[in-house]
Amino acid sequence: MKLLRVGAKGAEKPAILDADGTYRDLSGVVGDIAGTALTPEGLANIRAADIAMLPKLDGNSRIGPCVGNVGKFICVGLNYADHAAESGMAVPTEPVLFMKATSAIVGPNDDVIIPKNAIKPDWEVELGIIIGKEARYVDEANALDHVAGYCVVNDVSERHFQTERSGQWVKGKSADTFGPIGPWMVTADEITDPQNLSMFLEVDGHRYQNGSTKTMVFGVRHLVHYISQFMSLQPGDIITTGTPPGVGMGIKPEPVWLKPGNVMHLGIEGLGEQRQMTKAYSA
């Protein structure tokens, strides 16, 4: 299933994409694409609905973030060896974890606002894991049982804030609009192998990132297992799993940074595409 949320910001309706690409309103089936709706029981309830009988929604409506009320937005850094190399950093021996503020989350095609005092705004196409079943100290062999589905994430970053302003990376990752997710959550049963998905990102039509999840240092199964050793994972939590090479800071001979008026276009095989315009912050 492809589950999404459609409508104005703060008033999104839960929806499902039918076989013809039509948005069908799930409001009579589930309150939101969030929390308990993402559990195995919640997804079974959605599967049991007669999709063809659900009301149609306007196909031109705004698509919101594919998951509502996200509890934790967990990020994995340097999880592609070639991205670590372009960043001038060693490949980690254990996953590098940091958090992204949930207030950064926006829809897949919403504008990305470059924050005040930004110097080095950058892009990162990433595979997002959406948790559907509580995970606490799970074995790696059973880790995928806790995954509800997957989505596209643009882990927008401000590198000056991230690496030159001291402290943790979170300050360079958490500006409002720095977390586009969607367009939809694709349930795990539709993704045969999350470690074999092609991915890309373009800025103004120029392709900078062209990679595959097969080159992850730590795969989906290991990440869910590993993170659950340090914190419980709850339905609706999102893990974004790192980016392949081609980010702006890695461009030679000079880095390329986002500026107002750029258009980012990105996608992952089987998970859909996003398109955002960058705009300057305005009070």
Domains and CATH numbers, the chain: 2-53 (no CATH), 73-280 (3.90.850.10)
Please give the pLDDT value at position 82.
79
Going by the DSSP 8-state scheme, the letter that residue 56 receives in this structure is: B
SS3 121: strand
Alpha-carbon distances, residue 206 vs 94, 266, 275 (angstroms): 33, 11, 13
CB of 176 within 8 A of CB of 200? no
pTM beyond cutoff 0.85: yes
Beta-carbon contacts of 107 under 8 Å, excluding residues fewer than 6 positions away, are 9, 62, 63, 64, 65, 180, 181, 182, 183
Q: Report CA 152 to chain centroid distance, whole Å.
A: 4
Beta-carbon contacts of 254 under 8 Å, excluding residues fewer than 6 positions away, are none
Give the number of other CB atoms < 10 A from CB of residue 168. 10
SS3 129: strand
- CA-nearest of 144, 150, 97, 122 to 269 is 150
Q: Report CA 243 to chain centroid distance, whole Å.
A: 11
Q: Determine the Cα–Cα distance for residues 127 and 267; give it in Å rounded to an integer.
A: 9
CB of 131 within 8 A of CB of 237? yes
Q: Which residue has the tokens 């060896």?
A: 81
Q: Tokens in use for 247?
A: 């980010």
Alpha-carbon distances, residue 249 vs 122, 228, 276 (angstroms): 7, 31, 19
For the chain, 283 residues long, the average pLDDT of each consecutive 10-residue run is 97 97 97 98 97 95 98 96 79 94 98 97 98 98 98 97 88 97 98 97 98 96 98 98 95 96 98 98 90
SS3 275: strand
Please give the pLDDT value at position 163.
84
SS3 36: helix
Residue 224: which H helix or E strand, with range?
helix 220-227
